[in-house]
Chain A
Amino acid sequence: MTKTINLTLKVWRQQGPKDKGRFETYHAKNISTDMSFLEMLDVVNDQLTIDDKEPIAFDHDCREGICGMCGCVVNGRAHGAEKGTTLCQLHMRHFDNGDTIAIEPFRAMAFKAIKDLAVDRSALDKIIQAGGYVSVNTGGAQDANAILVPQEVADLAMDAAQCIGCGACVAACPNASAMLFTSAKVSQLALLPQGMPEAAKRALNMVRTMDELGFGNCTNERECEAECPKEISITNIARLNREYLNAGFFSRSI
């Protein structure tokens, strides 16, 4: 038998970037505990549509925790309180009948409000554009084993590459800093030989772009690491600091 629960939702509603925004209260009735958080919102939106009211706008895409599109702050926690989980993978069995749930968008100056719970996180794309890539020659592909990479190093790079760019680290950071995201994107390339040629320029340009976009400054609060759905470690932030300071003081790049 599926268990169902009834919930009270306090949802942030905001017409657009200029609107001040406010909380509205909704009742979510007969929610199956097998549903995901987003499916619960779908149910609420169905009812709102039937009642001829504006449905709640929220971001989502894959709904299987890999695209990085979803994300809200649920009861003060980015992607909700479950560890290592995106909002689309957060299941309603983690809530109790009668719970009141506050749902807010990710808040940061660099994330512009679009509508309700949907925010524009393209600032993260701009950081990637500033250097989160490697240049590859065209022509015949070289032998797969031509460049040796120790397994441990490959694993570290893969851990960093798990970042799905959801922006929860920014949302959870008391300073709205994007250091965990940037450090993951720098690390996944800096750790591998293929990332070496552009390493110095990459660190300088990505950090500069991050600063220009209005993200805050990291004060090592470690909230990002605790909240990240992909459990990206702050050892990546230390690596970014090394990469950046090395590039700034010892490389020929300016």
Chain B
Amino acid sequence: MNWITGTLGSSIGKKLLMAITGFSFCGFLAAHLAGNLTIYGGKDAFNGYAAHLHALGPLVTVAELGLLTFFLVHVIIGLILFLSNLKARPVRYAVNKSAGGRTLGSATMPYTGAILLAFIIFHLMNFHFVDKTDTTIFNIVSNAFSNTGYVAIYIVAMVAAAIHVSHGFWSAFQTIGANHPKYMPLIRTVSIAFAVVVGIGFGFLPIYIFLLA
């Protein structure tokens, strides 16, 4: 066996890939949120941010392709891990109680992940793969969020994202072996704080635009 596939193909190797891709999504979420906050600056600020971003041209395309690759890796390996973990316990327990280790986040990773997958496709169809001639991104966004159905879908998805990263963030540190008595408490706190920022930060935007429209 080739040493690269041997190392990455093992249980720990697959987890490493989940951690690296997951970490970069966390970075992406932070950057995306920072950009989206320009909405509070008004229509022009937001359109200006979008224009600046697209002015980066090929850089944006490279970043998009990178994210897409990472996304496929995260989703496919996540699915492989989920299925192999189901197989590892063919007969389930009749009575099953937690000893207190699991959290809402850790127990629902594959499900919040599936919600995110569906949401990301929906999100890209709404705001990315749309005809942007004769309109601005602000108009597209405020049109969408004048619809309560859209607002509801986005809020549910952002709650799912918050729950996913509440476990994912610290878990990724543990996976790469970064568990240190001096830093782990901080990492766990930041994990929850980041989840709250993602949930409220993204989740409140659709509500704000709905109220504005």
Contact = CB atoms under 8 A, between A and B. Distances in A.
Contacts of B13: 245, 248
Given A207-B11, A216-B84, A237-B174, A221 B106 contact: yes
Contact of A102 (B85, B95, B178): B95
Interface string A6-42: 0000001000000001010000000000000000000
A77 B100 CA distance: 11
B194 to A, nearest CB: 16
Interface stretch (B2-10, B37-45, B50-58, B68-76): B2-10
Interface stretch (A59-67, A129-137, A157-165, A171-179): A171-179
B102 A217 contact: no
Interface in A213-252: 214-227, 234-235, 237-242, 244-245, 248-249
Contacts of A107: 89, 91-93
Given A104-B93, A108-B89, A218 B11 contact: yes
Contact of A238 (B85, B88, B107, B179): B179
Given A217-B15, A219-B106, A237-B174, 7 more contacts: A81-B97, A210-B11, A214-B87, A214-B88, A221-B107, A222-B101, A242-B177
Interface of A: 12, 21, 23, 73, 75-78, 81, 102, 104, 107-110, 172, 174-177, 179, 207-208, 210-211, 214-227, 234-235, 237-242, 244-245, 248-249, 254
A220 B167 contact: yes
Contact of B171 (A215, A220, A224, A239): A220
A109 B176 CA distance: 27
Contacts of B94: 12, 23, 102, 104
Nearest to B14: A217
A237 B11 CA distance: 13
Given A217-B11, A248-B7, A241 B174 contact: yes
Interface of B: 1, 3, 6-7, 10-16, 81, 84-85, 87-102, 106-107, 109, 167, 170-171, 174-179, 181
A254 B3 contact: yes
A110 B26 CA distance: 35
Contacts, number: 142
Contact of B177 (A77, A109, A110, A238): A238
Contacts of A226: 98-101
Given A108-B89, A216-B88, A248-B13, A224 B177 contact: no
Contacts of A174: 85, 102, 107
Contacts of A179: 11
Contact of A241 (B87, B97, B101, B176): B176
B101 A224 contact: yes
B89 A218 contact: no
A241 to B, nearest CB: 4
Nearest to A235: B179
Contact of A211 (B10, B16, B90, B177): B10
18 contacts: A12-B94, A108-B88, A174-B107, A177-B88, A207-B11, A216-B84, A216-B88, A217-B85, A220-B171, A223-B98, A223-B102, A224-B101, A226-B101, A227-B99, A234-B174, A235-B179, A239-B179, A245-B12
A68 B89 CA distance: 21
B200 to A, nearest CB: 25
A77 B97 contact: yes
Contact of A249 (B7, B10, B107): B7
A64 to B, nearest CB: 23
A85 B107 CA distance: 25
Given A221-B107, A241-B177, A245-B7, A109 B89 contact: yes
B89 A216 contact: yes
A167 B11 CA distance: 19
A179 B85 CA distance: 13
A217 B13 CA distance: 10
B115 to A, nearest CB: 17
A245 B93 contact: no
B97 A76 contact: yes
B12 A241 contact: yes
